[in-house]
Amino acid sequence: MMRNHLLTLATVGLVTLGLYLLTQMDGTSGLLSALRLIFIWGIAAISLNLINGQLGILSLGHHGFMLVGGYVTALLMLPEKERRPFRTRLLSDWARDNLDLDKWLRGLGLDFIANSIDLKFIIALFIAGLAAALLGVLVGAPSLRLKGDYLAIVTFGFGEIIRLLPNAPEVAAFTNGPLGIKGIPGDAGTIWWTFFAFLFVLWFFTRLKFSSYGRAFEGIREDEIAAEAMGVNLAYHKVLAFTISAFFAGVAGGLYASYLQSVDTQTFNFFVTFFLLVAISLGGLGSITGAVIGTAVVVLVRNYGGFLEQPYPAWVGYLSGALLMLGAFAFSAYIRKTRRLRPVIETKHYIFGAIGLALLLVTVFFRNEPWMTQTVQFFGMRKILLAVILILIMIYRREGVMGRAEFSWKLIFGPREDIPSEEQRKQDAWLSNPELNPGASETKEDDDASA
């Protein structure tokens, strides 16, 4: 127990140190922004995972909550001069001029907070979360009585309504309409606040998952009827999970808005939810670790997959295709040779390998032909790569990389409580085997018992 806590602390310390060193080095801005995106989308993915993974409800409205968080943070943090160009119609200029955290804080005489952009940012994020959570209650309370596909459609509808609202002239005083809000101060959005928010989210959701409430959520996922019959109040727990999830979606939205330093209705379109769904299905629905892994894979492919879309001579494509096929053949041949049951490599595998080899030979022989040396470029290879990863995961490991499991030190160093020791195994066999244990049940065998 103690050892595991120390290990966790040491890991967090090491990661923090590594991050600090990264910020001090030159030429790491690309990596740092990738990390920031992983943290931001990680928060959003973990919060979506609470509904879709732990509660087992398909919700497609997450981008709406993120958008609310983004706009609220933007509006609260926006400096005076950036507000001037806002068009206002029905709502007066008052809204535009007074929805300003800076003014509120100074009005309360808390100048020392107003002078620190970091503290202001935290407060703005918190308020953004609260606004999203309020919306979560409003959306969740009426719609969560629905189930399955119906709920998915309703949440999707609500998400889109929320997304399109900022365009309406009636709310343009707050949102500046389709033009969006630009010039959100970015200096509070350094990697540190994102990192700390991410750590907090990890801590919060892990604690929640391994509490009585987390168990109740998972009970609802496993069997709603049984959970209700066992005294779990379905409506309360669903709305609770929805609200918590919306709160952290709002926080993630605020962080993203401050990362981009601008926000408009296209920032949080449906593809945001779609992207998060891909991330959590890849990592494993219901697993916090999985949500982080999935997000990391998706962000890294998107940020560093650029080399796939560069122009190359055609032979590079043929060569990599051939090598991939040969590699796949070698891998499957190895797997099939080592397996215990029927270690056979089938004809189709040889055919596949032969095609790969033929392709390799073609590439080598015709390497100077014009159709081999012409330059080709494939746009969208990153998305194809993501799609292929997703397909492979769905075929070979449908529950995602982590399944429902979490990373824990116990998993690595033990002791594993669910695996019986030799002694326990013997005792168990003794209990369930009547020949070894004739006295287990005092009554004799009675074949008529089920008459």
Q: How far is the CB of 197 from another protein (least distance, A)?
A: 16
Q: How far is the CB of 228 from another protein (least distance, A)?
A: 5
Task: Examine residue 412 and tell whether it contacts another protein (CB under 8 A).
Answer: no
For another protein, the closer of residues 233 and 374 by Cβ is 233
| CA–CA gap between residue 71 and residue 257 (Å, rounded) | 8
Given 116, 266, 432, 437, the residue binding another protein (CB under 8 A): 432
Residue 377: other Cβ atoms inside 10 A:
9
Stretch that binds another protein, among 5-13, 29-37, 159-167, 417-425 (CB under 8 A): 417-425
For another protein, the closer of residues 70 and 290 by Cβ is 290
Q: Which burial class, exposed, middle or buried, applies to 146 when counting CB atoms under 10 A from its CB (0-12, 13-18, 19+)?
A: middle
Is residue 385 within 8 Å of residue 305, measured between CB atoms?
yes
For another protein, the closer of residues 207 and 339 by Cβ is 207
Counts for the chain of helices (H) and strands (E), in that order? 22, 4
Site string (366-405) toward another protein, x via CB under 8 A: --------------------------------------x-
- Residue 375 forms beta bridges with which residues? 313
Peptide bond into 185 cis (omega under 30): no
Residues 6+ apart with CB under 8 A from 264: 166, 178, 179, 180, 181
Given 27, 109, 231, 438, the residue binding another protein (CB under 8 A): 231
Stretch that binds another protein, among 2-10, 76-84, 163-171, 421-429 (CB under 8 A): 421-429
Q: How far is the CB of 223 from another protein (least distance, A)?
A: 5
Query: Across 204-280, where does the E strand assignment appear?
Result: 262-263
Q: How far is the CB of 416 from another protein (least distance, A)?
A: 8
For another protein, the closer of residues 230 and 364 by Cβ is 230
Q: How far is the CB of 365 from another protein (least distance, A)?
A: 55
Q: What is the DSSP letter of 116?
A: -
Which residues, 190 to 229, sit near another protein by CB under 8 A? 204, 207-208, 211-213, 215-216, 218-219, 222-223, 225-229
Provide the token pair at 214.
Answer: 């987390």
| CA–CA gap between residue 188 and residue 263 (Å, rounded) | 16
Task: Examine residue 406 and tell whether it contacts another protein (CB under 8 A).
Answer: no
Which residues, 236 to 255, sit near another protein by CB under 8 A? 240, 244
> Crossing angle, helix 62-77 and helix 29-49, to 10 degrees?
130
Task: Examine residue 427 and tell whether it contacts another protein (CB under 8 A).
Answer: yes
User: φ, ψ for residue 293 (rounded to 5)?
Assistant: -60, -45
For another protein, the closer of residues 135 and 240 by Cβ is 240
Given 4, 233, 373, 408, the residue binding another protein (CB under 8 A): 233
Is residue 15 within 8 Å of residue 170, measured between CB atoms?
no
| CA–CA gap between residue 214 and residue 319 (Å, rounded) | 50
Task: Examine residue 338 and tell whether it contacts another protein (CB under 8 A).
Answer: no
For another protein, the closer of residues 32 and 405 by Cβ is 405
Residues 6+ apart with CB under 8 A from 281: 294, 390, 393, 394, 400
Q: How far is the CB of 4 from another protein (least distance, A)?
A: 15
Q: How far is the CB of 64 from another protein (least distance, A)?
A: 23
Nearest to 49 by CA among 41, 37, 95, 351: 41
Task: Examine residue 341 and tell whether it contacts another protein (CB under 8 A).
Answer: no
For another protein, the closer of residues 150 and 203 by Cβ is 203
Task: Examine residue 234 and tell whether it contacts another protein (CB under 8 A).
Answer: yes
The H or E element spanning position 181 is: strand 181-182
Q: What is the DSSP letter of 403?
A: T
Provide the token pair at 418.
Answer: 């669910």
Residues near another protein, by CB under 8 A: 204, 207-208, 211-213, 215-216, 218-219, 222-223, 225-234, 240, 244, 404, 417-421, 424, 427-428, 431-432, 434, 441, 443, 445-451
